[in-house]
Amino acid sequence: MKLIYSVHKYDVFMFNRLINASFYHNLATAARYISRTGDGYLYLLLVTVLYFKDGWQSPFLQTLLLAFLMERPIYFVLKNGFKRNRPQAAIKEFHSLVTPSDKFSFPSGHTSAAFMVAIISGFFIPVLLLPLLLWAALVGFSRVVLGVHFPTDTLVGMILGISAATYSLNQIIL
């Protein structure tokens, strides 16, 4: 329990440092756009393109589907099991810049899905790996900037996404 409190205390400290930084308002506008790229529409578009290009036999499509079928339930169980309040509920007089789709913050689903898609897409299109990892990191960072996640929410989201991607690649490809 002491560890959880220490992590939360550090999270609040880091969150407040970011929110109170002089450049915060400049980041906020960009964060809104970057965060939207992780809302799921691009993933649906990617799955649709892969289906129409190669059909259900596409290893890329199969890997993505397996990863989402595994990651989303784990994410849901963690989110509803830990029930960690979002910054707006945890910090007095703070208001997030966007309205989150659910009540709890741990882990970040946007970050998890972004890293999962980045790793899998980078495996199949290696030249895109580094730009996609940068994009995934920016999605996670944008969620903190927007005030809907603490830093460790995005860190655990990243770990979940990378783990789901790695497992799925091992099952389908390797």
Give the per-residue pLDDT at 41: 94
Give the per-residue pLDDT at 1: 62
Examine the residue annotation and report whether 95 is marked as an active-site residue of this protein.
no
Tell me the domain boundaries of the chain: 30-84+105-172
- Residue of 8, 25, 95, 110 marked catalytic: 110
Give the per-residue pLDDT at 96: 81
Q: Is the whole model's pTM more than 0.95, yes or no? A: no
Give the per-residue pLDDT at 160: 97
And the tokens for 105? Answer: 């913050």
Give the per-residue pLDDT at 99: 82
Mean pLDDT by 10 residues, the chain (174 residues): 74 77 80 93 95 93 96 94 86 81 89 98 97 97 92 95 96 83
- Residue of 8, 25, 95, 149 marked catalytic: 149
Give the per-residue pLDDT at 3: 67
Give the per-residue pLDDT at 25: 78
Q: Which residues of 130-163 are buried (b: 16+ CB within 10 A; e: fewer)?
A: eebbebbbbbbbbbbbbbbbbbbbbbbbbebbbb
Examine the residue annotation and report whether 110 is marked as an active-site residue of this protein.
yes
Whole-angstrom distance, CA of residue 79 vs CA of residue 137? 20
